[in-house]
């Protein structure tokens, strides 16, 4: 980039946040444009562009400006000019192209930007990093020679370290309970979702699933699997007629996901979490047809505050210990997914 431009350096935290946003499971035409445009808008002092100006810039100019701001910021923090180790960048590029389709020329030019990820990744804590950055950390750590990295290497690393990426299948569920508990049950069945590249996305309700599908189907290559509660039978049936061959729907036969969780697991989890409250007995979990109503009754009669599905799911997740904690219907769902 021409040396006449003036800009503010990105801080370490800003670099990490931007790298996180670039590597999440999101359509690259959205994520890369948003991050690159934001860097130019917020950090470029001269020449100054409006947001509309940036949208109209030649992508080669955008890449050139972002590369200079990013790499000089890294050098300012770490004293590192070397950007030859592009293994993490190449891995991200491969992973995105394996998952998403119809990547336009502008977006591909952004994907090819030579940004110094390596110096930043070496200063991140693997255990506390989000899974998308764990993927890049391991790639950078184990593949210093970026010219040799390929899809097979990435799949090997994913299975070895449970890295999720490259993502090979998308599961769309109605709510938070399935998001939290399906991976836990799958792991207990030795079908770890992260090792298998299976990503779970909450639709925010059954009625939103069809619209979400039509937003995604032309953007991603990977199979999409829908999991519906039994009361979504009509939506499920309608969607089955419209989805592509690689995609499928699964219907919970017995109500909501909470209704197919083991009674013994529920009882053990609630009693362990809320001791010394009066223990719940099995009969209380059969008072109402819907399990959530039984659990709400438990919270109310013990004065335990508001019942939230997200909190309950985390309590259950901590208490999954035995093979018998997984009911036959949950096993059937997980086997159908994997």
- The pLDDT tens digits along the chain (338 residues) read 455 899 999 999 999 999 999 999 999 999 999 999 999 999 999 999 999 999 999 999 999 999 999 999 999 999 877 777 889 999 999 999 999 999 999 999 999 999 999 999 999 999 999 999 999 999 999 876 556 789 999 999 999 999 999 999 999 998 899 999 999 999 999 999 999 999 999 888 888 888 888 889 889 999 999 999 988 888 888 888 888 889 999 999 889 999 999 999 999 999 999 999 899 999 999 999 999 999 999 999 999 999 999 999 999 999 999 999 999 999 999 999 98
Residue finishing a domain among 128, 145, 161: 161
Last residue of a domain, one of 119, 138, 161: 161
pLDDT the model gives residue 115: 96
Specify the number of domains making up the chain: 2
In a shared domain, residues 188 and 333: yes
Q: Are residues 130 and 92 part of one domain? A: yes
Same domain, 156 and 175: no
Which pLDDT score, from 0 to 100, does residue 146 have? 56
Q: Do 102 and 174 fall into the same domain?
A: no
Considering the domain architecture, whether residues 208 and 144 belong to the same structural domain is answered as: no
User: Are residues 21 and 150 both part of a single domain?
Assistant: yes
- Among 161, 185, 214, the domain boundary falls at 161
In degrees and rounded to multiples of 5, residue 251 shows phi and psi of: -115, 125
pLDDT at 188: 95
Supply the pLDDT for residue 144. Answer: 63
Specify if 230 maps to a domain. Answer: yes
Question: Residues 182, 331: one domain?
Answer: yes
In a domain, 1, yes or no: no
Domain around 229: 168-338
Clarify whether residues 180 and 128 are in a common domain: no
- Are the C-beta atoms of residues 252 and 228 closer than 8 Å to each other? yes
Note whether residue 294 is domain-resident.
yes
pLDDT of residue 145: 59
267 is a domain residue: yes
Residues 151, 209, single domain; the answer is no
Residues 151, 177 within the same domain? no
Q: Say if residue 20 is in the same domain as residue 82.
A: yes
Same-domain pairing of 104 and 146: yes
């Amino acid at each position: 980039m021409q040396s006449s431009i003036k800009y503010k350096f990105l801080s370490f935290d800003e670099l990490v946040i931007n790298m996180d946003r670039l590597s999440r499971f999101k359509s690259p035409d959205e994520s890369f444009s948003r991050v690159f445009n934001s860097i130019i808008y917020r950090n470029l002092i001269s020449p100054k562009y409006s947001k509309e100006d940036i949208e109209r810039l030649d992508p080669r100019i955008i890449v050139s400006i972002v590369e200079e701001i990013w790499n000089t910021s890294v050098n300012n923090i770490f004293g590192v000019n070397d950007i030859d180790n592009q293994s993490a960048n190449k891995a991200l590029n491969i992973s995105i192209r394996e998952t998403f389709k119809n990547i336009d020329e502008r977006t591909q030019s952004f994907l090819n930007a030579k940004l110094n990820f390596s110096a930043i990744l070496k200063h991140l804590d693997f255990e506390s990093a989000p899974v998308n950055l764990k993927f890049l950390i391991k790639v950078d750590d184990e593949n210093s020679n970026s010219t040799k990295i390929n899809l097979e290497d990435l799949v090997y690393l994913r299975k070895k370290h449970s890295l999720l990426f490259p993502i090979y299948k998308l599961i769309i569920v109605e709510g938070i309970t399935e998001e939290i508990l399906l991976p836990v049950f799958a792991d207990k069945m030795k079908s770890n979702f992260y090792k298998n590249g299976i990503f779970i996305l909450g639709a925010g309700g059954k009625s939103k699933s069809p619209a979400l599908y039509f937003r995604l189907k032309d953007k991603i290559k990977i199979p999409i699997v829908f999991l519906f509660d039994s009361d979504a039978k009509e939506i499920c049936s309608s969607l089955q007629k419209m989805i592509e061959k690689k995609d499928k729907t699964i219907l919970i036969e017995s109500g909501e996901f909470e209704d197919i969780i083991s009674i013994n697991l529920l009882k053990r989890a609630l009693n362990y979490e809320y001791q010394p409250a009066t223990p719940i007995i099995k009969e209380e979990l059969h008072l109402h047809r819907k399990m959530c109503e039984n659990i709400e009754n438990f919270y109310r009669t013990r004065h335990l505050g508001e019942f939230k599905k997200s909190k309950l799911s985390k309590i259950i997740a901590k208490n999954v210990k035995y093979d018998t904690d997984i009911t036959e219907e949950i096993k059937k769902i997980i086997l159908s997914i994997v």
